[in-house]
Amino acid sequence: MEKLIIKNYKEDMRFKDYIELEQYSLASKEKEKYFFNLLNNLNEYHLINSNEYKKISKIYFHLNKNISLINDFPFLPVSVFKSKLLTSISQEHIYKILKSSGTTGSIPSQIVLDKETASLQTLTLSKIISHVVGKERLPMIIVDSKSVLKDRKSFTARGAGILGLSIFGKKHLYTLDDNFGLLKEELREFSKKYNGEKILIFGFTFMVWQYLATTDLDFKIDLSNAILIHSGGWKKLQSMAVDNRTFKKTLYERFKIQSKNIYNFYGMVEQVGSVFLENSDGYLHCPNFSEVIIRDPKDFSVLPHGKEGLIQVLSILPKSYPGHSLLTEDIGVIIGEDDASNGWKGKYFKILGRTKKAEIRGCSDTFKK
């Protein structure tokens, strides 16, 4: 396969053409030949522009040999962004810094964005989410507090998620005050105006459960035509966690939200623009911009479909920092590819939980030296 090296990444016309393709339209074999070249270009770009990434890659992945398969790309443990500020841009081009939400007492990851990468993040999110929301902006409920958006220069993952999804809405209602109390009267007025109409709801999974699905209301809301998008898992509320079926069942019983209109998505602040949206079969689907590989936690070898292992995520989007190939701390399994019941092409997978820290300590500790 021809090796393409482009020092000025944004001048690659094939990249511009590729991101304009309809999402979920490429079968895996067809996608791989485009995705490989674009990822190879991006990897070369980071080797040239990030001394830290170049050093790590040469020492631990022996990149004096050609990369011929997508499985050959070096990966960074996602935890490395907690200890290192990796960047492929100069200080003056830093536009904003994203921080992971993390759990209590944990060190957040920090991700550096320039304006180009931030713009790509917005563009790709739009192309993915519009697949289920449509192009028309809808009245929108955001199950969170507006206070999470105060610092526009240093967003948490929650703030970035809210800002990204809010572009699909209008007449936005934030349901919580600054102290995370429910704004019942505002919600009552919103429901009177838009009861039974097509609206958009967004919130992080644990927030939707705690502040919508299980909250006490002294009035009824008809959300039978609502589209609900949620993400982020349960974070600090693992003791309250329920499975996807119970989550959807409860929301239908309380508000008549149709199961087919509830979409979870998987993503992380450490890899901007990678949004794995739930398909009609309830599995997470790879968009054109991103890919997943499952690796054995013991030796990091690639596992076949149906085998459980660590999830590696790959993306052609992160230009401002070397986050294009990351080994997560999540355990998952690839269910299938190219045969989802809604017609989406590409791989789809399931997340089974978090790995024990000991299982990937050898990998992540290596990068702290």
Question: What is the average per-residue pLDDT within 258-270?
Answer: 93
Q: What's the pLDDT at 59? A: 76
Backbone angles phi, psi at 10, to 5 degrees: -70, -10
State yes or no: pLDDT of 341 exceeds 90: yes
State yes or no: pLDDT of 238 exceeds 80: no
Q: What's the pLDDT at 346? A: 97
* Burial tier of 319 (Cβ tally within 10 Å: 0-12, 13-18, 19+): buried
Q: What's the pLDDT at 271? A: 92
Helices (H), the chain: 13-19, 28-49, 51-61, 80-83, 115-133, 157-166, 184-194, 205-208, 244-255, 357-366
Q: Which pLDDT band holds residue 102 (cuts at 50, 70, 90)?
A: low
* C-beta of residue 288 within 8 angstroms of C-beta of residue 18: yes
State yes or no: pLDDT of 360 exceeds 60: no
Question: What is the average per-residue pLDDT within 334-343?
Answer: 96
State yes or no: pLDDT of 152 exceeds 80: no
State yes or no: pLDDT of 266 exceeds 60: yes
Q: What's the pLDDT at 323? A: 95
What is the per-residue pLDDT across 32-80, written as a single tens digit (0 to 9) for each? 989 999 999 999 999 999 999 988 887 776 554 567 889 888 899 999 9
State yes or no: pLDDT of 361 exceeds 50: no
Q: Which pLDDT band holds residue 5 (cuts at 50, 70, 90)?
A: very low
* C-beta of residue 201 within 8 angstroms of C-beta of residue 141: yes
State yes or no: pLDDT of 2 exceeds 90: no
Q: Which pLDDT band holds residue 339 (cuts at 50, 70, 90)?
A: very high
State yes or no: pLDDT of 158 exceeds 80: no
Complete domains list, the chain, with CATH: 120-265 (3.40.50)
What is the per-residue pLDDT across 180-216, written as a single tens digit (0 to 9) for each? 999 999 999 999 999 999 999 999 999 999 999 999 8
Q: What's the pLDDT at 358? A: 38
Cα–Cα distance between 132 and 122 in angstroms, integer?
Answer: 16
Q: What share of the chain is helix, strand, coil (3-state, %, to 5)?
A: 35, 25, 40
Give the rounded percent of residues in the chain with a pLDDT score beyond 70: 87
Cα–Cα distance between 47 and 63 in angstroms, integer?
Answer: 10
169 three-class SS: strand
Sheet architecture: strand order including 110-113: 110-113, 96-99, 154-156
**Paired tokens of 241:** 């966690």
Question: What is the average per-residue pLDDT within 145-156?
Answer: 72
100 vs 162, more confident: 162
Q: What's the pLDDT at 325? A: 95
Q: What's the pLDDT at 3? A: 36
Cα–Cα distance between 202 and 227 in angstroms, integer?
Answer: 9
* Mean predicted lDDT score pLDDT of the chain: 86
State yes or no: pLDDT of 105 exceeds 60: no
State yes or no: pLDDT of 287 exceeds 70: yes
**Paired tokens of 121:** 């993040």
Q: What's the pLDDT at 4? A: 37
Q: What's the pLDDT at 123? A: 87
